Amino acid sequence: MSRRRPAPRVRTSLKRVSADLQHLNGLCAQCAMTVVSSPLMLARYFRCRSANIAVAFALIAPLLLAFAGAGIDYARYGVALAAIQEIADAAAISGARQWLINRDNVQLPKAIAQKTAESGLQFGGRLDGAELNVVANAAEATVGVSIAYSMRPSFLVALFKNPIAINVEAVAQVSGGANVCMIALDKTATSAILLDGGAAMSGGDCAVYSNSKSEKGISVFDNARLVASLTCSAGGYQGPASNYEPAPLTDCPERDNPLSNRAAPSFTGCDHTDFSLSSGAHTLQPGVYCGGLSVVGDAAATFTPGVYVISDGELMISNEATAAGAGVAFLFTGLGAKMTIDGNADINFTAPSTGLLAGLLIFEDPNGDGNRVFKITSPNAKRLVGTIYLPQGRFVAESGVGIAEDSEYTAIVARRIELNKGVKLVLNADYNLTTVPVPEGLAGGQITLRQ
């Protein structure tokens, strides 16, 4: 006997759903007719909705304000963090720079970094209360700066009952070799650096470079002596090994011209033409000296700070004349521009500490013809503080006594360098003893931020 299976319940459910849909459609139609036929009810509907929106806005307004306040406080946090990190970086670098000058004085790098950071934190009183810690490590040539600052939120005081902590750290390290006191830029010349006739060059704390590829790029003959912490030739050298201390390295990479990007100041016209002094005491002013500038006889000239442009002529200081000036720079340009310091002339010059030619005592226009000669034969040229830059010229010294020996530092970057007739050229590198800056690329080493 067979049994009929009961009808599936799905059909019953579908019937119920269909009935519900028909009922719902009927209600919607009635609602639509009511809304369309009754403007008053429509107005009541929207008034009701507006009231609901107002209530809802009142409920969420504090939350919206909290989010806005959080955004403002977060922006303040980001600005403060970036500013404090920048201060720490600058302080660490300024302190580490002192290792380039002296690796024995631990207190100086620390003091410089401390002062730099304090100045940054106190600027405008914006970061008062910051905690500063500076550590200097002579063995690693590093300076570490850490700064802790507590930022009080402006809007989220209830959420952040304690101040928001900002902690940054920067470590600057010096790496690299010796200071550079002489570079011969000529890439092909034989004897780009030449010492002869008992001449001597002493640069015990600095390095000497020749960019000449010639196998005789550096020449030291007879009883001449070249003493430096490092002597490096892009080619080779000639002369007995005993003439060098230490023996030069050969086939070195060319040394980049550290001053190639330094621009000469612009000028127009002439302030003086064929200017000459032969007696008496005089005070000279910066300006353009067309046709040259001469201080001869027994004249005494004091050069006030600034740039002296020697245009189409010669700077001559000769006989028994004296010439002195602090913060002065000589710019040579045009045909016939050259320098001669001879006789018993007594000179004492210090390069500018600031300005376009900061650190540069003698600056030759790079567009020269290569025939300019800058010559010193006076025995009284003992103080020349700064850098002598002759990208197309020849630096020639001939004197039986010391040149530049009383200078805190002297550096020479020239196309060619020639020392003769027993001259003793002393290139000191006591950078910490003067405010005259050392052009970048001459002070040895490189500063990098580790953090």
Ramachandran region, residue 168 (left: φ > 0; alpha: ψ -120 to 50; beta: rest)? beta
The 10s digit of each residue's pLDDT in 85-141 is 899 999 998 888 777 656 777 888 899 899 989 888 886 556 777 889 999 998 888
Confidence of residue 302 (pLDDT cuts 50, 70, 90): very high
Extract long-range pairs of 287-295: CB within 8 Å, 24+ residues apart: 289/313, 292/316, 292/336, 294/318, 295/321, 295/322, 295/323, 295/345
Q: What is the pTM of this model?
A: 0.64
Backbone CA torsion sign across 431, 353, 144, 170: negative
Domain chopping of the chain, boundaries: 65-175, 179-446
Q: Are 237 and 252 in contact (CB under 8 A)?
A: no
Give the separation between CA 240 and CA 448, rounded to whole angstroms. 40
For 157, the token pair is: 């005081």
pLDDT confidence of residue 33: 44
Q: Over 60: is that where the pLDDT of 402 sits? A: yes
Query: What CA–CA distance (Å, rounded) separates 404 from 417?
Result: 15
Return left, alpha or beta for 292; rule: phi > 0 is left, psi -120 to 50 is alpha, else beta: left
Joined together, the tokens standing for residue 31 give 């609602």
- Assign 209 to helix, strand or coil: strand
What's the chain's average pLDDT? 83
Rounded to an integer, what distance in angstroms lies between the CA atom of residue 236 and that of residue 218? 7
208-267 pLDDT, tens per residue?
A: 999 999 999 999 998 999 999 889 999 999 999 999 999 999 998 888 899 998 888 889
Cα–Cα distances in angstroms (integers) from residue 34 to residues 15, 25, 30, 49, 358, in the given order:
29, 14, 6, 18, 90
Q: With beta carbons less than 8 A apart as the criterion, state whether 365 and 264 touch.
A: yes
Instruction: Please give the residue that has the higher pLDDT: either 28 or 364.
Output: 364
Please report the sign of the dihedral spanned by the C-alpha atoms of residue 219, residue 203, residue 440, residue 362. negative
Name the most confidently modeled range: 9-18, 154-163, 285-294: 285-294
Tokens standing for residue 202: 């002493």
Instruction: Give the pLDDT mean for 191-203.
Output: 96
pLDDT tens digits for range 37-68: 444 444 454 455 555 565 555 556 565 555 55
Q: What is the pLDDT of residue 326?
A: 98
Spatial separation of the C-alpha atoms in residues 346 and 24, rounded to whole Å: 114
For strands 402-403 and 410-420, give the pairing: unpaired
Q: Which of 356, 389, 368 is nearest to 263 (CA)?
A: 356
